[in-house]
Structure 1
């Protein structure tokens, strides 16, 4: 990890607790007596979202969420109302950061590597999230969203787009980047196939993008962003 010049972060699931945020935003479903367990709901929601994103790569993320809500209600035979679907679609900016995210990003910012966001959301949603992570001072050197790229991870196009941009803007090549993510499906698996070094943030409470991908191994694994940041700091300082 000592030669890393850019850290490319997935945001939701890695820095932002999207499952807790979604759980809070889906209370109108969870309060229904016939609603199944959160794990089943999230698994169904994840599959529906993935299918929507693959079917229309340019569909903006709030629309993906709204359509997914409608299809989820139909699949699980739950009561659907338009207002709740709209609230869920606009909930991204309210999803909380993991407790260690800001401290970890502050540590990593001190290492002089470029901090890059590569996320499957739209620009407007991310700007709301950005304030939670950055506060009053900038942390991220660049942000790439599905809206910018015109497709969703795990599409290789997304990774090529980010890598080409980093090489053009910062003269950083693919051997000098590190993919940092919780989702094996959207990030670790495609990174591995593309020959990119990766770090799996193995948050034990995560449901989506992890189960069913046990055979996919990242180059490095940490139980939290904080542990990763401290370890990378130690490695880079000792290397100096």
Structure 2
């Protein structure tokens, strides 16, 4: 399923580089967060019956605040501190060991079912790049999962490399400079590919970048933004199929 939103009637085959968000787009970030918070939230009668959305809203409020306060803090530490601060806010006892375990849990978060095969297919037609709110060490665990079916990333830019977190436009400008240096590709041939309207599509709009919204179902974080997009697909697999159909005409 696709939805062309701009008047230029762009085609997927007009682009040379796909610049991916990872956690939320390729990796099931929300399930990782909810599963990781389960033992904490279960210890309070106030939070034990929270809905999935309530859990994610509480997490996002604390996590986003920490990213603004500490843009140079690595993401695994952001997660550990989010666990600690959320526990304090809710009046639930925690320990440094539990906080750290939540921070390290990102290493085990899994791809969406369609992700790896779609990346393998897309890598036949594009350079695949990453722009992710993560640290370099953590991403080494994730990339092994993502490349397990043959898809290969040619460039990785993390929040740690830039010293700030998306939606800061600095992150996108840094990625564009690296794409120009590494591949000789200008921004007009770069397609931002992401789930979060807030973290990815809104800054892409401001910078004049085209984007593909991977509008995964039953996802909450990053949806509250008036951002526009060039293409829309419900899964990355659907985007990969559409790209293959264009390139193989």
TM-score bin, normalised by smaller chain = over 0.9
Find 2:19's aligned residue among 8, 21, 33. 8
CA distance in 1, matches of 2:243, 2:62: 36
Structure 2 match to 1:187: 200
Structure 2 match to 1:154: 167
Structure 2 match to 1:39: 53
Structure 1 match to 2:139: 126
2:90 corresponds to 1:73: no
2:242 corresponds to 1:231: yes
Given that 1:34 and 1:78 are in contact with CA atoms closer than 8 Å, whether structure 2 keeps it comes out as no
Structure 1 match to 2:100: 86
Q: CA RMSD in A?
A: 1.4
CA distance in 2, matches of 1:237, 1:39: 41
What is the DSSP-based 3-state SS (H/G/I as helix, E as strand, rest coil) of the residue aligned with 2:14?
Answer: coil
CA distance in 1, matches of 2:93, 2:118: 41
Structure 2 match to 1:222: 233
Structure 1 match to 2:116: 102
After superposition, the C-alpha distances for 1:89-113 in whole angstroms (9 at most, x for unaligned) are 00111001100001100110111x1
Structure 1 match to 2:3: none
Gaps of 5+ in 1: none
CA distance in 1, matches of 2:198, 2:35: 24
Gaps of 5+ in 2: 1-11
Given that 2:190 and 2:210 are in contact with CA atoms closer than 8 Å, whether structure 1 keeps it comes out as yes
* TM-score, scaled relative to structure 2: 0.90
CA distance in 1, matches of 2:136, 2:80: 17
Number of equivalences: 235
CA distance in 2, matches of 1:44, 1:26: 11
Deviation at 1:87, TM superposition (A): 0.5
CA distance in 1, matches of 2:245, 2:39: 46
Find 2:188's aligned residue among 171, 175, 178. 175
After superposition, the C-alpha distances for 1:116-150 in whole angstroms (9 at most, x for unaligned) are 01100001111001111112856111111011111
CA distance in 1, matches of 2:218, 2:149: 30
Given that 2:22 and 2:131 are in contact with CA atoms closer than 8 Å, whether structure 1 keeps it comes out as yes
CA distance in 2, matches of 1:77, 1:216: 36
CA distance in 2, matches of 1:154, 1:137: 30
CA distance in 2, matches of 1:95, 1:13: 10
Deviation at 1:176, TM superposition (A): 0.3
CA distance in 1, matches of 2:71, 2:220: 24
Structure 2 match to 1:18: 29
Deviation at 1:217, TM superposition (A): 2.1
Structure 1 match to 2:220: 207
